[in-house]
Structure 1
Amino acid sequence: MMNRRLPLSVLLSLAALSLPALADNAPAGKVEAKPYTPGATLTQSVQASITPDSALDILKAGNARFVAGKPLRRDLKKMVTQTALGQFPYASVVGCIDSRAAPEVVFDQSVGDIFTARVAGNTVNEDILGSLEYAAKVAGSRLVVVLGHTSCGAIKGACDDVKMGNLTTLLDKLKPAVEATKTTGERNSKNHGFVHAVTESNVKMVVQTIRDKSQILKDMEAAGQIKIVGALYDTSNGKVTWY
């Protein structure tokens, strides 16, 4: 049989049809929006009520709880059961692999709430861009967050021009942020102010790279269907700053 490539629009439509509606029982194409309740399992109806702005507000509120040491109580076993046949996350986060900066933790989120793509230096490539496109276009995510963090080892490595196996290629993706950042001191990891400035620059540049390299996400943002934002997690106090 001849192998024919289907247009992306057709593939996305077919994928969308495969997503079940978590006990909402709504007719195809007629999803009744239901209010979001913090800590509750996300359904298709609840996802339908979340806008890009409210998705951002949910993450901000979650981080405030995390900083205050007051995370929501959840029945995780029940949430696993409820999401077994489908998922309707409201946001996607591109974060670093750093063990201190897990998005689900710092935003006080849980099973089925957010998509996460993690790689050292919270950068993107075609695989991550494709994942973000799926999350937004097919699965309904309303927000894309590029989450950097303070004292990032990958950023320090890029500042020091570290060469080590496959890490070399990864750090090369962070070099534009290093080169674009000005400083009056040393241009290496010993200069903490420089490292912080490079970290901020990298977050902002990755946000722009997403727009530049994904026409799908760029068009969705222009249409108001999603937002693409940058954020920085402070490993010293748990707070997230937004760009």
Structure 2
Amino acid sequence: MKAHTQETQAAITPDIAIQLLKEGNERFVASKMANRNLLDQVNDTATGQYPFATVLSCIDSRVSAELIFDQGVGDIFSARVAGNIVNEDLLGSVEFACKLAGTKVFVILGHTACGAVKGACDDAKMGNLTTLLHKIKPAVRATTEPTDAGQRNSKNGDFVNDVVRNNVLLTIEDTRSLSPVLKEMEDNGEIKIVGAIYDISNGKVAFI
């Protein structure tokens, strides 16, 4: 399998980009990964890159976007930060990826049992992590059930996963409100901004 070229990238629409990621995840789950020579793709991309997607995921060691979407060298821009939150630096990176480098979809990828989300649920504090977890707090507040304070912590897996979902949805809202560049591209149909959840127990990605 060859790396993407300027021509193949240009032929990909936002919907096709999402479908390519879905098909890649299906291959990953079925252990039928595409036949590709990564070193050949290194050579193919030595003079330029034409990825079709940008994925923001958590730094969790189990959530490597290239692996779980079965993509090769030069296929996706992969941004990672605990809790898959956005800030000016991340959004600047994504603006480059979409506006200048031509990717067609921006995926905010959360995952089940996220440690950063658990920390936000428990109001954990430690150095710079305190500031990062504060950015996930709105998702904790947006998760209204259960109302029993004793159930609103990292020991309640269902609660944690509901916060994970809300964190993805709020990150999509933050992207649109904090990045006029990406919002305009989405409004013009040049890209799609979507959310997804990776299940660490079975390898499946569910798009929201």
1:202 aligns with 2:167: yes
Asked if structure 1 preserves the Cα contact closer than 8 Å seen for 2:112 and 2:161, the reply is: yes
Aligned to 1:4: none
Distance (Å, rounded) in 2 between the aligned partners of 1:75 and 1:64? 20
Determine the C-alpha separation between the residues in 1 that align with 2:26 and 2:156.
30
Q: Which residue of 2 aligns with 1:91?
A: 53
Show the counterpart of 1:68: 30
Q: Report whether the alignment pairs 1:126 with 2:91.
A: no
Contact 2:111–2:197, Cα closer than 8 Å, also in 1? yes
The runs of 4+ residues in structure 1 deviating greater than 6 Å are none
Equivalent AA in structure 2 for residue 166 of structure 1:
N
The answer to whether structure 1 residue 237 and structure 2 residue 202 are counterparts is yes
Offset, 1:127: 0.4
* One of 219, 222, 225 as aligned partner of 2:187: 222
* Matched position secondary structure for 1:116: strand
Q: Give the superposition deviation at 1:151.
A: 0.8
Name the counterpart of 2:126.
164
For these two proteins, the number of residue pairs brought into alignment is 205
Q: Are 2:14 and 2:104, in contact at CA under 8 Å, matched by a contact in 1?
A: yes
Report the 3-state secondary structure (helix = DSSP H, G, I; strand = E; otherwise coil) of the residue aligned with 1:121.
Answer: helix
- SS of the aligned residue for 1:212 comes to helix
- My pick for the range that moved more, 184-193 or 46-55, is 184-193
C-alpha distance in 1, partners of 2:37/2:157?
A: 41
Alpha-carbon displacement from aligned partner over 1:186-237 (angstroms, at most 9, x marks no partner): 1110111110100000001001110010000000000000000000000000
TM-score, structure 2 normalization? 0.97
Q: Which residue of 2 aligns with 1:153?
A: 115
* Percent identity over paired residues: 59
1:113: which partner in 2? 75
Aligned mate of 1:193, from 129, 153, 158 = 158
Which structure 1 residue ranges, 5 or more long, are not aligned? 1-38
Gaps of 5+ in 2: none
The CA RMSD over aligned residues, in Å, is 0.7
Which secondary structure does the structure 1 equivalent of 2:83 belong to? coil
Is residue 2:8 matched to residue 1:43? Answer: no
Higher helix share: 2
Q: Is the 8 A contact 2:107 2:196 kept in 1?
A: yes
Higher relative contact order (CA 8 A, sep 6+): 2
